[in-house]
């Protein structure tokens, strides 16, 4: 009960409707704004995740955001799953720097010849992914395991595993890479 009270005291939480929330008791989540609207949405945050000063938004029906074990999500990040049957999945051990945006929808319709041409699309981010400061992953984009997305890069398609991708739109510039959290000095 105390953990639940601390969660609501340290974060702004707005939930309208009937939804499923599962936040492991080991999760550290501080100064976040969580907004869930619509019907039958899910927010799942697995053990060891550390989330700070982030806006988490789910708006629609049967949408989900699933954050894997030991993920770290930095200041001023924005995770938005909108519309119907849309998801954001973030694999375990991933790290997002500051100002990272993950968005499944444009947030408005674009109509051509009486037909919508910009539907929402799900986003999958693999395990042990690092997204640098200001990185953005847009609808339909994704990032494979052990990859790195460079500063202010915009992912608009799938980036493979063990890649470094940079630019707008992000393109793969190196392969066969991995990264580690510890800073070591190589000779």
> Rounded to an integer, what distance in angstroms lies between the CA atom of residue 187 and that of residue 174?
21
> Rounded to an integer, what distance in angstroms lies between the CA atom of residue 146 and that of residue 179?
7
Residue 81 lies inside a defined structural domain of this protein: yes
* Count of domains observed in the chain: 1
pLDDT at 9: 73
pLDDT band at 3 (very low <50, low <70, confident <90, very high): low
Segments forming the whole domain that contains residue 8: 2-175
pLDDT in tens, 129-150: 999 999 999 999 999 999 999 9
Residue 109 lies inside a defined structural domain of this protein: yes
Residue 46 lies inside a defined structural domain of this protein: yes
Instruction: Enter the pTM of the model.
Output: 0.93
Q: Omega into 54 within 30° of 0, i.e. cis? A: no
Residue 31 lies inside a defined structural domain of this protein: yes
> Rounded to an integer, what distance in angstroms lies between the CA atom of residue 176 and that of residue 46?
28
pLDDT in tens, 9-61: 788 999 999 999 999 999 999 999 999 999 999 999 999 999 999 999 999 99
Residue 187 lies inside a defined structural domain of this protein: no
pLDDT in tens, 76-123: 999 999 999 999 999 999 999 999 999 999 999 999 999 999 999 999
> Which CATH number is 18's domain given?
2.160.10.10
For residues 74 and 49, is the Cβ–Cβ distance under 8 A? Answer: no
Residue 154 lies inside a defined structural domain of this protein: yes
**One-letter-per-residue 3-state SS of 15-68:** ECCCCEEEECCCCEEECCEEEEEEECCEEEECCCCEEECCEEEEEEECCEEEEC
């Amino acid at each position: 009960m105390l953990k639940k009270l601390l969660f609501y005291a340290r974060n702004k939480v707005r939930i309208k409707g009937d939804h499923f929330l599962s936040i492991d008791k080991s999760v550290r989540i501080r100064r976040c704004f969580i907004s869930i609207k619509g019907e039958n949405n899910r927010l799942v945050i697995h053990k060891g995740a550390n989330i700070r000063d982030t806006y988490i938004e789910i708006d629609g029906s049967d949408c989900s955001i699933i954050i894997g074990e030991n993920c770290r999500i930095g200041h001023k990040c924005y995770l938005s799953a909108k519309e119907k049957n849309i998801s954001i999945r973030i694999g375990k051990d991933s790290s997002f720097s500051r100002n990272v945006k993950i968005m499944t929808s444009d947030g408005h319709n674009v109509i051509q010849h009486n037909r919508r041409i910009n539907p929402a699309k799900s986003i999958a981010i693999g395990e042990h992914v690092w997204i640098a400061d200001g990185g953005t992953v847009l609808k339909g984009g994704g990032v494979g395991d052990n990859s790195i997305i460079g500063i202010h890069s915009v992912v608009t398609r799938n980036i493979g595993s063990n890649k470094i991708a940079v630019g707008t739109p992000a393109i793969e510039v190196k392969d066969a890479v991995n990264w580690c959290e510890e800073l070591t000095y190589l000779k």
